[in-house]
Chain A
Amino acid sequence: MRRGLDGPAPEERPTPEGRRNDQGIRIDPEVEATHLPRRTVISTLVQHEPGVLAEVSGLFSRRQFNIESLTVGPTDDEDRARITLVVEEPDPGIDQVKKQLRKLVPVISVRELAPDAMRRELALVKVDAERPDQVAAVADMYDATTVDSSPETATFEITGARQKIEAAIETFGQFGIREISRTGTTALARGTAETAAPVSATESATDQPTQQDQYTADDD
């Protein structure tokens, strides 16, 4: 007995012309359209309560969003904390990051920052102090502050945009770096623009990428 159902076989059926890309977007067969990853800063205001950070970081790991850095700290309102995330994803992924974050009950608001937002990171860099004069000169160049020094080592605090910190670390490299500790980026919107204020659900569903221009999250 033949097992299975009746009906025209696959090759006898009509097939449609169109196609979607792997992000589910309908594409013109001629033009391939895939979004490339870009780096952006997302600021979110959350209830200041135990477990929030685990919820947010857990969301990123289980949905496999590509996270560059995550910083968290209190705000002027003692019931709220601000989490600043730097993510690198294609646009549909960034959209999902924002929407999934908004779903978490302790999350009050989520916003992707404009390219002109103020972004800062702090790094502590511990270097060998065999050539104190030269080390001091480099520190000066990057506005680094000395936080500790001993006959063998000097430790500097550097704040600034990510590129500056990376450049400083590279330059300090010539003296021999013993240890580095970096905080990741924290950020605020410029002027009167709100960093993370509530948005309506429709706005969030139709959120279009806000950064179409050249900036990366680390330009200052």
Chain B
Amino acid sequence: MSERAASVTPAEEQDDEQPDADAQIADGAAPDATEESETTPEPVTTGAEAVVRALENAGVEYAFGVQGGAIMPVYDALYDSDIYHVTMAHEQGAAHAADAYGIVSGEPGICLATSGPGATNLVTGIADADMDSDPMVALTGQVPTAFVGNDAFQETDTTGVTTPITKENTFSSDPDRVGTDVSEAFALARDGRPGPTLVDLPKDVTKSETDREPDDPRVPDTYEVQERADEEIVAAAAERIENAAKPVMLLGGGVIKGEASDVCREFAIEHEIPVITTMPGIGAFPEDHELSLEMAGMHGTGYANMAITHCDALIGIGTRFDDRLTGGIETFAPDAELIHVDIDPAEISKNIRADYPLVGDAATVVEQLCEAIDASPKVAKWRAQCQQWKSDYSMAYEAPEDEPVQPEFVVEALDEATSDRAIVTTGVGQHQMWACQYWTYTEPRTWVSSHGLGTMGYGLPAAIGARLAADDDQEVVCIDGDGSFLMTLQELSVAVRENLDITVAVLNNEYIGMVRQWQDAFFEGRHSASEYHWCPEFDKLAEAFGARGFRIDDYDEVAETIEAALAYDGPSVIDVHIDPEANVYPMVPSGGDNGQFALTEEQL
């Protein structure tokens, strides 16, 4: 390496925004990096190479990002790597794609951005991953350390901005440490309760010489995760379950992240305990099973909400009791003793007081519970009651031929046309709720949505990340809203460039539909800023991007259009013109009583 790379002077860095070809050549990689040996990789020579080596050691296959001045050394090192980089249209897209990659694969998704605006564009995606405990690593370029704090060009205090929305972040200031910082970030994103981590990479640090190979991914010593729950509490909880007359299992996203779906299924089926999921927990239990009551909460099924309101023992696993699930705390499962399994001790008794706190890995703790239970609870009456609620409050809808297409019909048609393992991603709004309610999920890691943060625009970039993580025979379908799609539709260019087989169904109501629904219910129908007087024609827009465009206006077009879109081997967009007045029911008004869900607007 030349001397210049190691000691960057501020003056050189200034005009760095325009890639300086001469400097690149002068600073270029080690002269004979051409002779690649198959078995032993070349030793690292720069901080940037250490960063990339750390990712390679962690088994990273894909990274999502956008280039820029401060992150250029890392991209330069990526040039020689087998890691496949997907250049996104916007950093928010990179973060959502990485997030979805993490959900589907179970391994942290990687996103990269330059300093300043690149880093701040990641923020929404990082916050989203944080709320949903998705494993993700964000690598951000930073101005050279000598400039930090001077309001340099494209400087933002990225670790400062992201502290509240990351599991951990690091400003990496030492070329000999930078690779290990990235390894550690990877391990922290994945281990224990997953979440997003960030490493901020000053340009001088990544450009500097180092021969320090990164350590393997390992969490810092101060980070401890408890795998097994306290045996005494397990025994007490087991006894409580044995004696329960009206038990319910509530499976959250932690069940899927902790690979506990199988053991939870066995547990529920063996003891015939009805199962409810939270929204992030969708897929943890097969919704076509008799014991399944599907999702509870604001737009959960009536039967799930009745069961959760009337149960006497609630076995909550990997759920944080978000207010969209609980409604008003005072009326949430008021007769139930709570058995709460979570890997994060801080989730226990945060919102709902746990009577049996079980800290540990979901799969391990449920196995402990399996062993500790001697006799199944007597639940015949309770199960019959749950079945009764299922028929009383069935999720049926009417779809008269002479009316505009109902969204539920489209969701069901998509579900029918695809396999059980098809992956669904969504934006945020009414369409997201219909996608929860009218698609029958049977497998974990097939439902990819923005739960905690509720980020419009999540669906399309998430579909890109999901596509790359999914098996080839798994279809990826994005059910989007017109408003949500408009927020990140530029990522269609990426799907086309990478020739990704994705089907986007835009449930187009020419409304910011969910807002319109609330305005009708709670603001006397005053549609302030919720009407789209003009929506682009999404099928034509898709064609402009180089994707296939389709349009549905009538029922008789639904099946064959969906079939054609799914058959197309590449990205396709169906502009589905649905009934603009369609609303999502059941609904528990926010902070309301789950047992008092409304079935029609009049009941709100």
Contact = CB atoms under 8 A, between A and B. Distances in A.
Interface of A: 1-10, 13-26, 47, 50-51, 54-55, 58, 62, 92, 95-96, 99-100, 102-103, 105-108, 198, 200-202, 204-206
Contact of B394 (A6, A9, A62, A107): A6
B226 A24 contact: no
A105 B159 CA distance: 14
Contact of A26 (B351, B353, B396): B353
Given A6-B599, A16-B309, A20-B352, A201 B225 contact: yes
Nearest to A46: B222
B224 A201 contact: yes
A201 B330 contact: no
A105 B188 contact: yes
B457 interface: no
B349 A103 contact: no
Contact of A202 (B359, B392, B601): B359
Contact of B600 (A3, A23, A55, A201): A3
Most chain B CB neighbours (cut-off 10 Å) among A4, A8, A23, A50: A4
Nearest to B337: A26
A22 B329 contact: yes
Contact of B159 (A21, A51, A108): A51
Interface string B329-354: 11110111100000011101111111
Contacts of B310: 14, 16
Given A5-B600, A24-B329, A201-B226, A18 B345 contact: no
Interface stretch (B70-78, B136-144, B163-171): B163-171
Most chain B CB neighbours (cut-off 10 Å) among A5, A6, A21: A5
Contacts of A204: 345, 359
A100 B357 CA distance: 16
A24 B585 CA distance: 27
B248 to A, nearest CB: 13
Contact of B397 (A5, A62, A107): A5
Contacts of A201: 224-226, 345, 359
Interface stretch (B29-37, B278-286, B547-555, B590-598): B590-598
Interface of B is mostly: loop
21 contacts: A1-B400, A3-B581, A3-B582, A5-B394, A5-B396, A6-B394, A6-B396, A17-B335, A20-B352, A25-B353, A26-B336, A51-B159, A92-B349, A96-B350, A103-B346, A105-B223, A202-B345, A202-B357, A205-B348, A205-B349, A206-B233
Given A15-B595, A107-B222, A205-B359, A4 B335 contact: no
Most chain B CB neighbours (cut-off 10 Å) among A3, A15, A19: A3
Most chain B CB neighbours (cut-off 10 Å) among A47, A58, A95, A105: A105
Interface in B555-604: 581-583, 585-586, 593, 595-603
Given A105-B223, A198-B224, 19 more contacts: A1-B398, A1-B403, A3-B601, A7-B392, A10-B596, A10-B598, A10-B603, A13-B306, A23-B329, A50-B171, A51-B171, A58-B164, A92-B353, A105-B222, A106-B222, A202-B230, A205-B345, A205-B349, A206-B357
A3 B583 contact: yes
Across the A-B interface, the 5 shortest Cβ-Cβ residue pairs: A4-B600, A18-B334, A201-B226, A99-B346, A205-B345
Contact of A24 (B229, B352, B598): B352
B393 interface: yes
Nearest to A18: B334
Contacts of A16: 309-310, 334-335, 595
A96 B334 CA distance: 22
Nearest to A202: B230
Nearest to B586: A5
Contacts of B222: 47, 105-108
Interface of B: 159-160, 163-164, 167-168, 171, 188, 220, 222-226, 229-230, 233, 302, 306, 309-310, 321, 329-332, 334-337, 344-346, 348-354, 357, 359, 392-398, 400, 403, 581-583, 585-586, 593, 595-603
A196 to B, nearest CB: 13
Contact of B599 (A7, A17, A95): A7
Given A17-B335, A20-B329, A96 B393 contact: no
Contact of A19 (B306, B330, B357, B598): B330
Contacts of B224: 198, 201
Given A26-B353, A55-B163, A92-B353, A99 B345 contact: yes
B168 A102 contact: no
Given A99-B345, A105-B220, A202-B226, A10 B597 contact: yes
A169 B560 CA distance: 83
B168 to A, nearest CB: 5
Contacts of B223: 105
B404 to A, nearest CB: 11
A87 to B, nearest CB: 16
Given A20-B329, A105-B220, A205-B345, A54 B163 contact: yes
B296 to A, nearest CB: 15
Nearest to A63: B164
Contacts of B233: 202, 206
A9 B397 CA distance: 17
B226 A200 contact: yes
B334 A19 contact: yes
A9 to B, nearest CB: 6
Contacts of B337: 26
Nearest to A107: B222
A100 B348 CA distance: 11
Nearest to A25: B353
Contacts of A62: 164
A171 to B, nearest CB: 43
Nearest to B184: A105
Given A26-B353, A55-B163, A99-B345, A20 B596 contact: no
A24 B353 contact: yes
B332 A20 contact: yes
A175 to B, nearest CB: 43
A7 B309 contact: no
Nearest to B232: A202
Given A4-B600, A202-B226, A102 B346 contact: yes
Nearest to A8: B392
Contact of A23 (B334, B353, B394): B353
